[in-house]
Amino acid sequence: MRTHTIYIGVVDSKIGYWDQNRQPAKQKRARRKERIAWESMSGEEDFTVDFGAAWPFGGAPTVLSSTNGSIPPHTVDDQARLAPPYKYTVSILPSGPSEDPEIIIDPASD
């Protein structure tokens, strides 16, 4: 299955999101069983990704923490709901900005 990478960077004190094709990715579409990873644009910023209780991946919800600016791919569960979108919070560590992008599970995404 396909792996999506969401790149995270701070631009003008705000968090920006791009996918592996350099397209905006504040709202990212993915299919069930596809994989999603996060990486810092600079490769140096540490960050967390927190979905709270609404978790699109298999297993119990957890806060994902980057190591060396990267969070490895997680597989979207084959039972992930299609709506509403999965909102999550990205926080730049140790005390940088935070923001709430979303993952949209879309059976028709490409």
Count of residues in the chain: 110
14 located within any domain: yes
pLDDT, position 110: 44
pLDDT in the model for residue 107: 79
Residue written as tokens 């490769």?
43
Domain extent, residue 85, equals 3-105
Q: Phi and psi dihedrals of 99, rounded to 5?
A: -160, 165
Handedness of CA 104, 100, 57, 37 (dihedral sign): positive
Domain with residue 65: its CATH number is: 2.60.40
The pLDDT value recorded for residue 39 is 96
**Averaged in consecutive runs of 10 residues, what is the pLDDT profile of the chain (110 residues)?**
93 90 94 96 90 91 94 96 93 82 76
How does strand 102-105 pair with strand 86-87? Answer: antiparallel
In a domain, 110, yes or no: no
Structural domain total, the chain: 1
pLDDT of the residue at 109: 57
Question: Is residue 95 a part of any domain in this protein?
Answer: yes
